[in-house]
Amino acid sequence: MSEAIVARATAAGGATVALIRVSGDRAIEHVAERSDGTLAVDAPGQSVTVGCVALDGCTWPARFTVFRAPRSYTGEDVVEIALPGATPAVGALLDALHAGGVRPAAPGEFTRRACVAGRLDLARAEGIQALVRARDDAARRAAVELTGGAVSGRIGALRAALIDVLADLEASLDFLEHEVDPAEADDVGARIDALRDTIARLVRGAEARQRVDAAPRIVLHGRTNAGKSTLLNGLLGHERAATGATPGTTRDLIGARVALGGATVVVFDAPGVGGAASVGDRAALETAERLRADAELCAVVVDGSDREPPPPPCATPCMLVVTKRDLARRVPIDGWCDAHRPIAVVDVHAPSGGGLTALRDAWRGWAVGAVAEDPAAVVGSVRAAVLAADRALAAAAETWRAGLGAEIAVVHLREATDALAGLTDGIDDEAVLDVVFARFCIGK
């Protein structure tokens, strides 16, 4: 076993209960020394003992949960201590354990030990990090797909199919007198293409969301005075963006998180398009253009009483939001909708809140669908490894179709299998582990 480590498993600060986790060599003995004699050194695994911890002449009620190796999270002996969350008690217990030779855990060290011990693969470990950072239900569901092994299973199947192709080509090299006929050559190319399609489905959710812990971005796009700022204020329930009858009131980007009940998005109010801009406004307008190109959804906002059709949307999925629904609708939208096919068309009157529930529902459906299209979205180091495998497969397909021979294709296929190897079979490269787990929080 590794040397004993300790950290809080719950957030710092006052709380009803705090959880402290100890793992490693003599973990149970270290904790037993700080108990009032209720925790036995030979306590069986999966056992719970109610007692006290003795600290500086005081005793605090505690519950000790023992997990014996290898049936624990880290694969080592583990003790979890639940005690009152008072900061002095928690600090005194940590100080006492440190003085007794238990080292403070580094960020992510518990999960790192689980990964090294084979209790978790890298895909599941990345899922734990994503789960801790998840800010809404969509992100949580995607993270659970990682921690539950859905991604590991799909990557394992992908690697097995890749090895089948590699084995067939290597067999043809072992029997040089056997010539690959055109039908077999087409089959190899098709099999490689199918593997790349599988990878594309794996990364699609991540491409849409960038990370499962990042809220999708929606940009309010429309002409000046279309009601974008009023709409943002109505969604937030307070004035966040300045509004006024004078065109061009919004002269900079304004972003705010909007909770949609199960999903969260970041909505950006940008300067209106189509108006004259001063030299001082150009920087904001250029920034707004970059945002429109990067946002995951373009909410085209148009004044319902306007006689001009809405402006063209950004080069992303779009929705049409028709403001001022209390007035007679004059804006021509039929031709615009035929040309741009918005996900939804919603009429609103932001000052009174009319239509905002329907808009939130439409946005929530889109935000959840961005991940639900393929909930097993790959993230972090897992995504990097999968994309590296895809690049190697692309090179294999190119060399094979160029007629450069099985020898060259085999080299690229081996690169692809190596890229995926550490995701499901464990990884023992210390440098890689350092990079992965440095992003974790202490106590996980």
Residues 192 and 319 in one domain: no
Say if strands 345-347 and 318-323 run parallel, antiparallel, or are unpaired.
parallel
Residues 389 and 253 in one domain: no
Q: Which of 147-151, 200-204, 426-430 has the lowest mean pLDDT?
A: 426-430
- Predicted confidence (pLDDT) per residue in 301-328, tens digit: 999 998 899 999 887 889 999 999 888 8
**H helical segments located in 42-121:** 87-99, 109-116
Q: Which of 106-110, 210-214, 224-228, 311-315 has the lowest mean pLDDT?
A: 210-214
Residues 273 and 138 in one domain: no
- Predicted confidence (pLDDT) per residue in 41-74, tens digit: 888 888 899 989 988 778 889 999 999 999 998 9
The count of domains in the chain is: 3
In a domain, 300, yes or no: yes
In a domain, 435, yes or no: no
| Interval 29-33 mean pLDDT | 93
Domain CATH number, residue 44: 3.30.1360.120
pTM of the model: 0.52
Q: How confident is the model at residue 374 (pLDDT cuts 50, 70, 90)?
A: very low
Residue 6 has pLDDT above 60, yes or no: yes
Among candidate residues 60, 93, 117, the one where a domain is terminated: 117
Q: What pLDDT, on a 0 to 100 scale, did the predictor assign at position 127?
A: 76
Residues 283 and 411 in one domain: no
CA torsion sign for 136, 139, 142, 148 is negative
Q: Which domain holds residue 333?
A: 217-372
- Predicted confidence (pLDDT) per residue in 221-247, tens digit: 998 888 888 899 888 887 655 554 444
Domain CATH number, residue 413: 1.20.120.430
Q: Are 293 and 313 in contact (CB under 8 A)?
A: no
Q: What pLDDT, on a 0 to 100 scale, did the predictor assign at position 4?
A: 94
Residues 153 and 75 in one domain: no
Cis peptide before 70 (omega within 30 of 0): yes
Q: What is the dihedral of CA 2, 54, 58, 7, to 10 degrees?
A: 20
| Interval 271-287 mean pLDDT | 62
In a domain, 324, yes or no: yes
Exposure of 11 by Cβ count < 10 A (0-12 exposed, 13-18 middle, 19+ buried)? exposed
Residue 250 has pLDDT above 60, yes or no: no
In a domain, 444, yes or no: no
Residue 1 has pLDDT above 80, yes or no: no
